[in-house]
Structure formats: C-alpha cells, structure tokens
Amino acid sequence: MKICKFVLIIILILATFSPICFADDYSYTDEIEESNILDTYIESSKEPITNSKNIVVIDRKTLSVLYEKSAYEKVPMASTTKIMTCIIALENSDLSKIVTISKKASSIHGSTLGIKENMQISMKDLLYGLMLRSGNDCAVAIAEEISGSVENFSNLMNNKAKELNLSNTNFVTPHGLDDPNHFTTAYELALLTNYALKNETFKEIVNTKTYTFLFDGYSKTINNTNELLGNVTGVYGVKTGFTFEAGRCLVSACNQNNLDIITVVLGANTKKIRTQDSYNLIKYVCNNFQYINVSKTINENFEKFNSYIQNSIILEKTSILPKLKLETLQNYNFPLKTDGNLKLNTKIYTIKNFSHKLTFGEQVGTLYLYNNNDLLCESKIFLDNKLEKNDYKYYFREILKCFK
C-alpha cells in the first residue's frame, strides 16, 4: 500500500512539474537522431521528399518562391520567433549594454541559458544565448530591457511585422511558447529571415557554431542548436524551434551552387524529419535551379510589340506617334528550374488611345514575364516623347488634302 502511494505521489509530481511546452528541448531521442541526420539524398528533378506540414524555399536575390507546401497557412512557429526578437534588439539596443536579470526572466520555463535573478549580463551575451541556446530567459530579459515588459516588446515586434508587410503574422511573446494568438506562415517567416540577414551582426550571430563568454564568474561555452550548421556546405544560419503545438521547426539559410536561399520547415514530427526535410530541400533546389538571364526575352518581345502597336493605336488631337520605353529592371537573373520545361513568355498591356494630355514619362502600360504561367516579374512601360496638340495649321493642311 505504501509503495502504491509512493508511486502515485511520483506521478503527481511529474504531472505538476512537466513543462507544458518547450523551445528546442534536448532529449536522449535527439541524441540518437543526431547520429543519423542527413542519411541520404536521392538525386531527382522531381519534387523533394518531405514530411513536414508547412514548407517554403525562397531565393534571397529575387524573393522568388522555389518550392512550397502549405506555405501561406497561419501556424505557430515556436522559437523561430526569436529571429524577430533578435533583430528588434539589434535595432533598438547597444550590444555593450549591461542588463540586470529580473525574477520573471530567470523563472521562465522551456529551454534556457540559466541566468539568475539580479545577475548582470551584456546584451551581446544575451543575444548569443537567445539564438544559439534558444534561451527563453534571454528573450524575456531582452524584452524587459528594451521595452519594460514582454507585452510592450510584443507591440514592437508587431509594428515591425506591419512595416515588413507581414499581414499574417502576430506576436504575443519574444520566445514563442504556445499561444493561440502567436502565429505566422512559412512564407512570411522566410521574408522576415531575409530582412534580418541583411543585418551583419545578426548574420554573424546565427552563423556561430559555439560561443564562449563569462557567465556568473565562470567561463561558459554554448553550442548552436541548428544541426545543419557546420554539417551542410553553405549553411550559415538561422534558427531552430520546438513546442508541442508547433512541432519541430527549422529555418535555414544556405549559399550553394551560386544560389542564396532560405528554407523554412515547420510542423515536423521529429527533429530528424525537420533536418532531413531541410537537407532534401536545399539539395533539390541547388541541384535543379540556376539563374537564367531573361533580358533577351523581355527586350525582344517588347520590340515586337512596339512595332505592332504603332499600327493599331488611336491618336487623339495629336499627330505625333508615341515612343514607348520599357522600365530598366534592377535584376534580370531569376532562379529557374532547368529540367527542360523552361517556357518564357510575355503579356504586354498598354493604353490604345494616345492624346496630347499624356505627359512625357507617364506610365502607359506594363509588361509581365512568365515562366510556365508563373509570374517572374513585371516592368512598367512609359511614354518616351511629348505628344504635341494639333494646331490650326495641321487642320488646314488636312482640309487641303480633301481638294486634291
């Protein structure tokens, strides 16, 4: 009877203290999976084998979506939240700032750096603890230092999301523990990551495999939770995540085979799945896509259209034929799949009626470039000359023609 009571007490204690949700937890299961990650990649031009729920791969140069699966669905994102936390901190704080840790920050559950109440630690060390160790305590400490509270800091995060046009993203916390009002999409998380990576300090932090600093009077070394970093050629970040609602998450940045891409994997059932999916996506894209210069197609099709339209336009109170000029794009190179199905075509729309009321440089149309019905880019068409209004001499000459 005493044994039964003892067992019951143990069960109640475990139930009481088992964390509701984590962020990048580490377990014996993970240790087993670590030894088997990146098993094999089957070379194929067909779609990669993936098991995660929400996936996207974007090209950083053009922001083109190279692969996606349910990439626009609103879902929880666990500790990938800290991508926003980090960039907000970098834009609103000094790395040398010394932060005093509060009781709230030191008592947060989930993955932590282990900072204690009243401990003093630099913002720089907090950011490394945030992004490498995925410290929820670091996230709260950063939020309180910059905004006074988690709630105020979340407002900063949401304001930044609006600034970046992330309309399907909402933040409640700086750490990403589960909350029904804390969500994003794989696509918008990729856009956020691309923005963050433009900050060189952010890029340096997430590309760090190990970091050593003075912690509570002792030297402490932490390792990056990103299992691809250092194991896959070209990977230079970015962030892992895990909660029960979000599943296993991994955002990766990789520069390989002249492609610079961001891969987002959300909702994986295991760490091995998120790792293998990410690896398969990187290999698939980097082996099957390459930059194609589309300037020739655009310019040739525009010239043909320009010749055609001269015979079909309607001139109103002007006798001057309009000259059309195509906008010069910043980039003509797009990552396209080189599997023999490349099919570039354009659709061009302009006004038909041209009058003296149109001004030099005014937009009169748009050229759209497609590859197999997927829109790659668009270019504005401008009026490149001044259309003078017909004067009385013009009409007099027209009248004289009638008597010849």
Decide if 323 is catalytic: no
Beta bridge partners of 248: 242, 268
User: Among residues 96, 133, 123, which one has the least CA distance to residue 208?
Assistant: 133
The neighbouring-strand residues paired with 293 are 333
Edge-to-edge strands, sheet with 324-326: 324-326, 374-383, 363-371, 344-350
Q: Report the interhelical angle of 123-131 vs 82-92 (nearest 10°).
A: 160
111 is catalytic: no
Set 79, 106, 111, 252: catalytic member: 79
Helices (H), 18-148: 28-34, 82-92, 103-106, 123-131, 136-147
DSSP symbol at 389: P
Is 162 an annotated catalytic residue? no
Give yes or no for a contact between 246 and 271, defined as CB atoms under 8 angstroms apart.
Answer: no
Give the closest residue to 24 by CA, choosing from 244, 241, 201, 318.
Answer: 241
Relative to beta strand 363-371, strand 344-350 is antiparallel
| Cα separation, 193 vs 159, whole angstroms | 16
Q: Which of 384, 349, 352 is nearest to 369 (CA)?
A: 349
Query: What is the pairing mode between strands 353-355 and 374-383?
Result: unpaired
Q: Which is the catalytic residue, given 52, 134, 147, 154? A: 134
- Among 82, 124, 239, 272, the active-site one is 82
CA angle 70, 166, 135 (to 5 degrees): 85
Task: Report whether 24 contacts 79 (CB < 8 A).
Answer: yes
Distance between CA atoms of residues 151 and 166, nearest Å: 19
Q: Judge contact between 334 and 292, C-beta under 8 A.
A: yes
The DSSP line for 151-186 is HHHHHHHHHHHHHTT-TT-B-S-SS----TT-BB-H
Supply the residues annotated as catalytic. 79, 82, 134
